[in-house]
Structure 1
Amino acid sequence: MSDPTRPNAVQWLGYVLGRKLPMSMQDWVRNDLVGKGAVPRHLLRSMIPFMPIFIGFVVLFPGALWLRGAMVLLSVLLALFYTVAFMELNRARRLELHGLPSNLKSDRKRAALDTERARYEQLHLGDRSSR
């Protein structure tokens, strides 16, 4: 029997909480972290650990439903703020955990960096013989 290349539900939940997946899933991890749609996946994945807190605000706190909803909304916005602020660090940590280079970039990001480097070199390092 071959090793699975995608995590099952229990493995995925462990991955969300910071556990390492088996080496057979390394391509899946690479795509998850730097492939197309990685940012929205990261934002959604990061909200999973907060779900008990959000549910607790709605269920356990007294008051009008709109007030409890506002508590959840403010909590979601705060969680998203910190998720975006630490996205690169979290991505690098997950890549390293799974044996991948921490500076791995998506194809689109790598192409944009190469274009920017070429433009910089053309502007600032161009024809040095005329100086």
Structure 2
Amino acid sequence: MTPMARPTPRERIGYAFGRVLPPHLHDWVEHDLTGPGATRRYIVRGLLPLIPLLALFLLIPGPLWVIGSMMMLLLIPYVYFLIALTYVYRRHRLISHDLDPGLMSRREQERKDRERAEYKRRFGH
């Protein structure tokens, strides 16, 4: 089995900002969007641009609890919608790379089938 082609650092940065990768990297894109850890990678990529913005709040004079509260007013809804739109965003990225959006459903079904088989193995039901 040949190793999967990986994007260069420049391509990876472009990909993080929404750019479409060339066709020879579609296996990597598929793994990135549907493979193990895909949701974690998506959330980390979504939170990284927010860090400098939150750091700007530290320049505001005042008690730390007020600054922290202002940060939370931005962070909590951002994370909520980031998580809520995970499936939609990852499906959109598959479509933009001309990959089958049904991969999301198939991977999820495979995971559920594995969990069901493990449950039956452990508990005999």
Identity percentage of aligned residues: 33
**Contact map agreement 1:16 1:48 (CA 8 A) in 2:** no
Instruction: Give the structure 1 partner of residue 21 of structure 2.
Output: 21
Return the TM-score normalized by structure 1: 0.69
CA distance in 1, matches of 2:41, 2:5: 18
SS of the residue corresponding to residue 13 of structure 1 reads: helix
**Alignment: residue pair count:** 112
CA distance in 2, matches of 1:21, 1:69: 38
CA distance in 1, matches of 2:33, 2:41: 8
Gaps of 5+ in 1: 117-131
CA RMSD across the alignment: 2.7
Q: Which amino acid is the alignment partner of residue 30 of structure 2?
A: R
Residues 1:81 and 2:109 are matched in the alignment: no
Could you list the runs of 4 or more consecutive aligned residues of structure 1 that deviate by over 6 angstroms after TM superposition? none
Q: Which amino acid is the alignment partner of residue 14 of structure 1?
A: G
Distance apart, 1:108 and its partner CA: 5.1
Q: For CA contacts below 8 A with separation 6 or more, give which structure has more relative contact order.
A: 2
Q: How does 1:25-104 map to 2 (within 5 A)?
A: 25-59=25-59, 61-104=60-103
- Which is higher, the Rg of structure 1 or of structure 2? 1
Q: Which amino acid is the alignment partner of residue 55 of structure 2?
A: I
Distance apart, 1:99 and its partner CA: 1.3
Instruction: Give the structure 2 partner of residue 110 of structure 1.
Output: 109
Distance apart, 1:77 and its partner CA: 2.2
Gaps of 5+ in 2: 117-125
**Contact map agreement 2:6 2:25 (CA 8 A) in 1:** yes
Structure 2 vs 1, CA of residues 7 and 58 (structure 1 numbering), >3 Å: closer, same or farther?
farther
